Structure 1
Amino acid sequence: MRAFQVNELGKNPQLADVLIPEPKEGEVRVKIHACGLNFADLLLVKGEYQEKPLLPFTLGIEVAGLVEACGPGVKHPAIGSRIAVLGNSGGLAEAGIFPAERCLPIPDAMPFTDAAAFQVAYGTSHLALTQRAMLKKGDTLLVLGAAGGVGLTAVEIGKALGATVIACARGDDKLAAAKSAGADHLIDSETADITREVKALGGADVVYDPVGGDQFTAALRACNRGARMLVIGFASGDVPPIPANILLVKNISVIGFYWGGYMALNPKALMDSLVELMAWYSKGDLHPHISNILPLEHAADALELLRSRKSTGKVVVTP
């Protein structure tokens, strides 16, 4: 089968022919129909992600497809089941091995491309906003990187939870995507003074930040008293220092959130969140935004779309 593999950290991955893997106890083999790309894939290539698979490894952590083989002891999901699953690697291939316990049934009406774009982006925003930031109706939510894979879902879920949403993104096209996801107010991060504009809108009660860097600092200075700042990631490449005096004076909480860490911290909360989100999708309340769908032979181009920030929402590869 074909697989898009990292052979040396920091070097470009390559498409390779590899043996079809066999599932071991507690595992299933999935015929992969779609793989959603994430910022984590770029970090995996460089060896800078929290998880570090042994070399060589196949990129891709978020997949959707059909179960085609089960290892010893696996009763669910059954062969032929339509599932989405999150792994540590293995998604950018024609088939992959994943833990059976992580497999999530997907609705019959849900395309595999939607399913592959769903778990990380919606799961991150839902758990972060509901479990960590305790976002409530009437709060003002500031979303940085609001046109990215997780940013658009934060806008969408924030509106569903009754918040007023301020979307901050770069350029008219990306702001238009955030507006279509439900944003009430738009700020261009390239040209605007984020602190001044957010303050003019009444300040932020919750900040959702997958960007880091200067935008974190600007958002912090626009926070209301008692605000909660969610640290989701550092797409800017800059981990910001946190001025503790501002936290003290304004009673602001800075909350770290790593969605994948909930696999160990609280797997039930993670799976319950995904089940609830699938129900929202089935009712037509959620609409995954996929800007680019590419075949496996163009996986390198798909990663470049992510790296160059030329995409909005998710980029999906279809083996």
Structure 2
Amino acid sequence: MRSFRVLKDATPAVLTEVPVPVPGPGELRLDIRACGLNFADLLMQKGTYQDTPPAPFTPGLEVSGVVNAVGPGVTDFGIGDRIAIYSGQGGLAEQGVFPANRAVRIPDCMSFEHAAAFQIAYGTAHMALDHRARLLPGETLLVTGAAGGVGLTAVEIGKLMGARVIAHARGAEKLEIARQAGADVLIDAGEDLRARLLALGGVDVVYDAIGGDVFKAAFRAAKPEGRLLPIGFAGGEVPQIPANHLLVKNLTVIGFYIGGYLRFRPEVVRDSFATLFYWYEQGRLKPHVSHVLPLERVEEGMELLRSRASTGKVVITP
């Protein structure tokens, strides 16, 4: 079978032929129909992601497809089941073997592309805003990188939770996508972010996927008792947080990484996914997939992430 594989540590992945894997105890094998790309897939190839596996390995953190084999001890799923898995790796291939206890059934109304694009982006937004930041109805939420794969879902989730949502993105096209997802206020990346936020009365919760100067501006515009979630650093700079400002304004900076919960509190992830799939079935969530590409064009998909040319999610269909 074909697999987009990192053969040596910290080297670019290449499309190659590998043997079809065999599921072991507690595992299932999937005909992979779709794999959502994430910024972490770029970092894994550099060896800079916090959960980079040792080479050789196949990137691709979230997948959907059809079960074609199960290993010993797997009783909850059978051949032919449509499932999605937040796998952490292995998704950029025609088939893959994954732990069965991470699998969730896909609603009948959900496409494979939506299922692959759904888990990390929506799970991150929902768990960060609900479980960690405790976002309340009527509060003001700032989402930076608001048209990207993770940011756009935070706009949707924040609006569903009753917040006033401010979307920050570059250009009219991306801001319009954020507006359609529910944003109440739009701020272009070329504007003075801190000044605009202060003019709007400040913010209660910051959901920041950019880092650098964008985080600093949002930090300075946070209201007393504001909560800040540094979700990612797509701008390339990890912000340094002045602890004295936290003290004076009673601010809280909240760390969140969804992958960690799979290890120490997996029930939080399962409960979040159950809520999100229910909202999807109700028609309250509408994943935005800007590009669907075949496996042989995965490099093109990576470049879309690298250059921030995509909106919403990029999905690969092996």
With structure 2 as the length reference, what TM-score do the two structures score?
0.99
Partner letter of residue 193 of structure 1? D
Match of 1:229 in 2: 228
Deviation at 1:51, TM superposition (A): 1.2
Distance 2:98 2:3 in 1: 15
**Coordinate RMSD, CA, aligned:** 0.8
Cα separation, 1, equivalents of 2:59 and 2:266: 23
Q: Is 1:213–1:240's contact at 8 Å kept on the other side of the alignment?
A: yes
Partner of 2:299: 300
SS at match of 2:153: helix
Aligned to 2:196: 197
**Matches for 1:239-254 after TM superposition, within 5 Å:** 239-254=238-253
- Residue 209 of structure 2 corresponds to 210
Q: Residues 130-167 of structure 1, C-alpha deviation per residue, up to 9 Å, x if partnerless? A: 01100010000000111111100000000001000000
TM-score, normalised by the number of residues in structure 1: 0.98
CA distance in 2, matches of 1:12, 1:162: 42
1:69 and 2:69 correspond: yes
Note the C-alpha offset of 1:260: 0.8
1:83 aligns with 2:83: yes
Q: Can you list the C-alpha shifts for 1:106-148, whole angstroms capped at 9, x where unaligned?
A: 1011000000000000000000000110001000000011111
- What's the offset of the Cα at 1:8? 2.5
CA distance in 2, matches of 1:113, 1:263: 23
Runs of at least 4 residues of structure 1 off by over 3 A?
A: none
Match of 2:259 in 1: 260
Q: 2 CA distance for matches of 1:54 and 1:89?
A: 11
Q: Contact 2:12–2:46 (CA<8 Å) still a contact in 1?
A: no
Indicate the larger mover: 50-59 or 168-177. Answer: 50-59
For residue 274 of structure 2, what is the amino acid of its counterpart? V
Is the contact made by 1:53 and 1:88 (CA closer than 8 Å) also made in structure 2? no
2:286 partner letter:
H
Q: Distance in 1 between matches of 2:252 and 2:236?
A: 22
Give CA-to-partner distance per residue, 1:193-226, whole Å, 9 cap, x none. Answer: 1000011111100000111111110000010011
What does residue range 1-319 of structure 1 map to in structure 2 within 5 Å?
Answer: 1-189=1-189, 191-319=190-318
Separation (CA, whole Å) in 1 of partners of 2:222 and 2:59? 38
CA offset at residue 236 of structure 1?
Answer: 1.3
- Secondary structure of the 2:156 match is helix
Deviation at 1:246?
A: 1.3
| Aligned partner of residue 312 in structure 1, secondary structure | coil
Question: Alignment partner of 2:254: what SS?
Answer: strand
Aligned residue pair count: 318
Separation (CA, whole Å) in 2 of partners of 1:162 and 1:205: 13
Bigger shift: residues 49-58 or 277-286: 49-58
Give CA deviations for 1:161-206 in whole Å, capped at 9, x if unaligned.
10000000111111111111010001111x1110000111111000
| Distance of 2:121 and 2:215 partners within structure 1 | 20
The percent of aligned pairs where both chains have the same amino acid is: 58
Counterpart-to-counterpart distance in 1, 2:264 and 2:212: 27
Matched letter for residue 282 of structure 1: E
CA distance in 2, matches of 1:53, 1:23: 19
- In the alignment, is the contact (CA less than 8 A) between 1:3 and 1:17 conserved in 2? yes
CA distances 1:266-303 after superposition (whole Å, capped 9, x unpaired):
11011010011000000000000000000000011111
